[in-house]
Amino acid sequence: MYFDISSPRRRGFRSAGAAALALGLAAVTGCSSDSGAGGDTVKVGLVASLSGTYEPVGTELRAGFELYLETHGNKLGGREVELIVADEGDGPPTAVPAATKLVKKDKVDVLTGLVSGASVNAVLPLVNQARIPFLGSNGRPPVKNLEYVWTTSFLSDEPGKAIAPYVKEKVDGPVYAIGPDYQGGYDELRGFTDEFKRVKGRLANPDGKTTWTPFPKTTNFMPYFAEIARTDAKAVYCFYAGKAAIDFAKQYAQSDIADLPLYTAFVTEGSVLQAQGPAAKGIYSVLNYAADLDNEANRTFAADWTAEHDTQPTTYAMASYDAASVLDKAIADAAKDGDVTPQTINKAIAGLGQIDSPRGAWEFGDKAHSPVQTWYLRQVRPDGAQLANVMVQDLATLGS
């Protein structure tokens, strides 16, 4: 099942200029209230990268959450919502002050978003001190104290772990692993390399270890591709997102290794695919969502999304949409039992059970507070006049 994304929209995809205009401002929907969750309004703070390398990701996190509010009367659990948005930038130096303002000055009842795993680690002490639930909507590193920590997306090592056995089966020879040198890159590549070695795969990297590219400085990947060409690699596995993904894909298609199969996490996800153009054709990716999944929840989500945006829905938008869905149910459950406070919302999240989602049904695992969910193999193929990430097959069910 494919979605026609050429039909007229109520409004276009938010431009980088519009995102920049919103930096540091409180984007408020609905009625504001000083009473917080204890009154008629719930305050939700959303921190996402609205500038910098991961602006395309952060913009979609925001848009996914807003879409749920727009299609549910701007209410969660029957209560009006005051959504306050702050810019995460490229990581902790900007994420921490943004989150601090939301928690200490704006006194939000719930925190959501965060693109970078490093941002998550840096912000969690604030969350634990304030005793408010953090509902992350992008990849998250392992966390020791999970009392107020949840994610609607995934643990950062899971994409690589899910695709490694498939790559071992399909590739007749060693695979070269490459990624950015920051927390998210370390987690994503570790998931692949550990699982690949477990299933008796061999890395083509000369020292048997992942090659790291400086983040966010690396814009020229050609020297790295020249190094790969000198090895016996039969395929490449990588993780990149945002602008780095655009540079990587375009240059890969022009390099000496363009004929090597490219397996990725996130490289072709979101608005970057349009920017990559024909260079992205044929690239494989592993994700917990594909826009052409055939289930009722996804048909609704995809139709609502494509009515407003010039791209297919993405895992970023979907996970943030699901964060709003989780809060919708949790706030309603908390209200049934008495006062709606950050603590009662957090307790209600723990008792939700199965979530009906565009990705397919999932539930929070007890050990990691992350989704137990299916992972999918996608490939960039023509879908009408445009290229799209088309679902190829299920890969694995992961989560705990």
List, for residues 297-337, the tens digit of each pLDDT value.
999 999 999 999 978 899 999 999 999 999 999 999 999 98
- For residue 274, count other CB atoms closer than 10 A to its CB: 15
**Nearest C-alpha neighbor of 14 from the set 74, 53, 64, 52:** 64
Conformational region of residue 52, where left means phi above 0, alpha means psi within -120 to 50, and beta covers everything else: left
Q: What integer pLDDT is reported at residue 60 of this predicted model?
A: 94
pLDDT band at residue 32 using 50, 70 and 90 as cut-offs:
very low
**Rounded distance, CA 78 to CA 5, Å?**
32
Query: Mean pLDDT throughout 237-256?
Result: 96
pTM, full prediction? 0.85
**Rounded distance, CA 381 to CA 257, Å?**
20
**Rounded distance, CA 288 to CA 265, Å?**
10
Q: What integer pLDDT is reported at residue 80 of this predicted model?
A: 97
**Nearest C-alpha neighbor of 242 from the set 195, 297, 300, 182:** 182
List, for residues 117-171, the tens digit of each pLDDT value.
999 999 999 999 999 999 999 999 889 999 999 999 999 999 999 999 999 999 9
Q: What's the token pair of residue 379? A: 């490939």
Only one residue has tokens 């998250």, namely 140
| Residues forming beta bridges with residue 349, ordered by sequence position | none
| Residue 2 reports pLDDT greater than 90 | no
Please give the share of the chain, as a percent, with pLDDT higher than 90.
Answer: 83
List, for residues 65-83, the tens digit of each pLDDT value.
999 999 999 999 999 999 9
